[in-house]
Structure 1
Amino acid sequence: MRTSKPITVTLGSQQKSLDTRLESGAYSSASEVLRAALRALDREDDAINEIMRQKIREALDDPRPDIDAETVFDRIEQLHAERGGVGGNDE
């Protein structure tokens, strides 16, 4: 029994990339190219998720005291003002 279903995809500017890969002989069908692309996208997502998990672990393990939100926003507004930006809530 078939576990996948045929789909129609409009590639636009990516069509040339697909055609080049097929012409090179590296892939024998558009389906192979798309499956490889999706596997690459899955690997990229996994890598980004791992980086984010690591950053979250580092933040949670950071022994420095927490900074309250008001202080953070005050610092952001100060930096923004120093760079010539428009001030906070006085619009």
Structure 2
Amino acid sequence: MAARAEKPVTVTLGPLTRAAQDCVTSGRYASVSDVVRAGLRALDREEALLDELLKARVAEAPADTRAAQSADDVRAQLAARHARRTGKSA
């Protein structure tokens, strides 16, 4: 099967434009397109690692001997944690 020519894609980077251009200016990348491709490859690696982590956690779950918590208890704990982190009362 012959390789298809890829169509150009226009991407608006917004505030990330400067960071992408700085990568090119520094000589680390030849073009902004190279920067975007590297970013997408890094995203693929990150998502693959997260998938592996989640699969491992799911596989470990049946062996967890801790007592189950009610949804209300979990919500209360999350609300308290959020309040501590944001400085707002729960």
TM-score by length of 1: 0.69
1:59 is aligned to 61
In the TM superposition, residue 26 of structure 1 has moved relative to its aligned partner by 1.0
What is the RMSD of the two structures over their aligned residues, measured on CA atoms? 2.8
Identity of aligned residues (%): 35
TM-score, normalising length: structure 2: 0.69
In structure 2, the CA distance between the partners of 1:72 and 1:2, relative to structure 1 (3 Å rule), is same
Give the number of aligned pairs. 80
Greater C-alpha radius of gyration: 1
Change (3 A) 1:51 1:77: closer
Where in structure 1 are there 5+ consecutive unaligned residues? 86-91
C-alpha distance in 2 between matches for 1:9 and 1:74: 43
| Corresponding residue of 1:72 | 70
Segments of structure 2 that go 5 or more residues without pairing to the other structure are: 84-88
